[in-house]
Chains A and B, each alone.
Chain A
Amino acid sequence: MKLLIIEDEPSLRNSIREYLEHQGFICEVAADFREAIDKVGDYEYDCIVADIGLPFGSGLDVIRELKTLKSKAGIIIISAKDSLEDKLSGLELGADDYLTKPFHLSELNARINALLRRKNFDGNTSISFFEITIIPASKTVLVHDKSITLTGKEYQLLVYFIANQHRVVTKSALAGHLWGDAYDQAGSYDFIYTHIKNLRKKMLEAGGEDYIKTVYGTGYRFG
């Protein structure tokens, strides 16, 4: 899968690239509007991650250009401006998703994965990790080909973990993924632990391995 990351901050660009490449994506980068326009004109990408505020132009115009080129690439906007107008006009222009800075790299990765699945296979594909198989279309989870019943939150957790396999995922990233902005109100992340405990138990009961490792004081690593 080939990605284009359009971001003018070199440090952030490199972080995103490093994380996504580690997850198996081929990443191209563009540092400004002109470079972005050149690259989207020259190559096909599966997904484009675009910042809105760029030197020499706007990320929104890159989206317009992509639409005139009839590109099939999925588009995720990453913007520091948490402004509703930006979000709405981005989505109206044909962007598929919108992330406000600062975001967790694991969240960006999970969104790219979900978007690519939707775009390329219309959701008719399965996600596999050793003995675990997930069929997103029906939200079914199979362990050793045996279906297990998960709650909505447990299912979301598992998909998130598999997308970010072998990486340390922080508790706040998990909370943000499951509850969005509302998790500010939680007061603690204890309730994540409950979900993870249940997920782990269900997987073990179905004869699966225990892939969820607790990383001391920080979060979890899957696989």
Chain B
Amino acid sequence: MKLLTKTTLYFILIMLPVFAAGAYYLFHKFNKEIKHETDEELVNDQLEWLRYLDTASLDNPIFRFHTQEFQLIPTDQPIQKKFKLKGVNLYQETEDTQAPFRELSQVISIHGKNYQLILRKSMIEKDDLAKNIITVMLLAFGGLLVFVILSNWFISRNIWSPFYRSLDKIRQLQLNKMETLQFNRTPTHEFNQLNDALNQMTDRIHQDYINMKELTEDAAHEMQTPLAIAQSKLELLLQDENLSEEQLKNIGQTSEELQRLSRLNHSLLLLAKIENQQYPVTEQTDLHPVLLKYLSLFEELIREKELTVDTKLAPAAPWPLHPALADILVSNLLGNAIKYNYPEGRISITLTQTSLTISNTSNLPEIPPANVFQRFRKSNQGYSNSNGLGLAIVKKIGDSYRINIRYQYRNGLHIFTATC
């Protein structure tokens, strides 16, 4: 729920009982006032009547009078010194309802005879009063509601706009473009505080990001030089004709391990570079020739394992991918399909405009889905040449360039699918 909707809702919830209480109070107050006025009028009327009756002649038919508003009935009751006022409900024939009245009653004596005098005034205005008050209150409430919503909308558009601008900026945040990001000054103190904090935060994140990036690159870069030196020294050492077989073997193995270290380093650097989006998509790369290139590069490996390769390749499959990454994607997937295959196994490759599927037979069981693309999660089944980064790199390419990489295991086949 939007903050504004929420505040508006709370406002309405609070105003509702306030208005109800106000309406009740007003009704009560007016009611009392009207009663008071009516009673006063009744007393005045009574005085008028008494004055008139005193002067009237004895045979006046008024002495027995019976209407709703005025009754004068002979009675045996003793004279009352004080009149009584009360509210009554009387049946109205014309409207077929009960209507409220104020009533003044007193037993008086006229020319020595006792009469019950009753004066009544209709309080029918009371209903109208309640209706009017409720109408006025509803109108006021509705007006206020419209006003509140309109002003909130206005406030939202104006006062909150710097907030939404900042929010948009945060949404579009990209790590490598952070240095250009600036949250500007606003006329609102709170938003200035927020923007200052955001500026500091993005500066810090950007700095950390740059540091990390530089560290990864520098570390990998700096490692290459000592590796190159060690490698070259071993190669020179190998040339010594006086070395025993055992010594040659040891040098050979050391050299192998150095190669592995260097490949590992290279792969880690590659992962970092892909993550940093350092391979921009400037053109479409056709995967068809890339696949053919690696099929011919791996020709010996395929022949040596006596693998059967089925290919269903679309004549052209331009993918939005940097050529270097297209090479890596294809060579890693195809290389794995060969490496983890058994002799006389099968590989099938399907390439369409939007998908590349490579499936292979293997002695390896299904890879747990949680591990398949994890770094350094390699099978411990005698494939020492793997550095455990091949599929992690494939996945990273997928994540960074919107290519969906999926692994399935079906009928003994390991199936990798890349979809762009």
Binding site for B on A (CB under 8 A): 9, 11-12, 15-16, 18-19, 22, 80-82, 84, 100-106, 153, 167-168, 170, 172-173, 179-182, 184-188, 190-191, 194-195, 215-219
Contacts and interface: CB of A to CB of B under 8 A. Distances in A.
B127 interface: no
Nearest to A215: B248
17 contacts: A9-B228, A12-B232, A15-B236, A102-B231, A102-B258, A168-B235, A170-B238, A172-B255, A172-B259, A179-B297, A180-B297, A182-B294, A184-B385, A215-B238, A216-B245, A217-B245, A218-B249
B235 to A, nearest CB: 5
Contact of B228 (A12, A18, A167): A12
Contacts of B263: 184
Contacts of A187: 301, 338-339, 383, 385-386
Given A187-B386, A218-B251, 13 more contacts: A19-B232, A19-B236, A101-B224, A102-B258, A103-B231, A105-B235, A170-B238, A170-B255, A184-B385, A185-B334, A187-B385, A191-B301, A218-B255
Nearest to B386: A187
A38 B269 CA distance: 35
A80 B227 CA distance: 10
Given A184-B335, A194-B300, A106 B385 contact: no
Given A170-B255, A191-B300, A191-B304, A82 B229 contact: no
Contacts of B236: 15, 18-19, 105
A9 B225 contact: yes
A16 to B, nearest CB: 7
Contacts of A15: 229, 232-233, 235-236
Interface of B: 221-222, 224-225, 227-233, 235-236, 238-239, 245, 248-249, 251-253, 255-256, 258-259, 262-263, 266, 269, 279, 294, 297-298, 300-301, 304, 324, 331-332, 334-336, 338-339, 383, 385-386, 390
A137 B262 CA distance: 35
Contacts of B262: 102
Contacts of A172: 255-256, 259
Contacts of A217: 245, 248-249, 252-253
Nearest to A18: B236
Which 9 interchain pairs have the tightest Cβ spacing? A185-B335, A218-B252, A15-B232, A102-B228, A217-B249, A80-B224, A101-B228, A191-B300, A168-B238
Given A182-B335, A191-B300, A12 B324 contact: no
B233 A11 contact: yes
Contacts of B294: 182
A92 to B, nearest CB: 16
Contacts of A170: 235, 238, 252, 255
Given A11-B229, A168-B239, A217-B245, A182 B224 contact: no
Contacts of A185: 298, 301, 331-332, 334-336, 338-339, 390
Nearest to A153: B300
Contacts of B239: 22, 167-168
A12 B225 contact: yes
A180 B385 CA distance: 16
A105 B255 contact: no
Contacts of A216: 245, 248-249
Contact of B227 (A101, A168, A195): A101
A191 B302 CA distance: 10
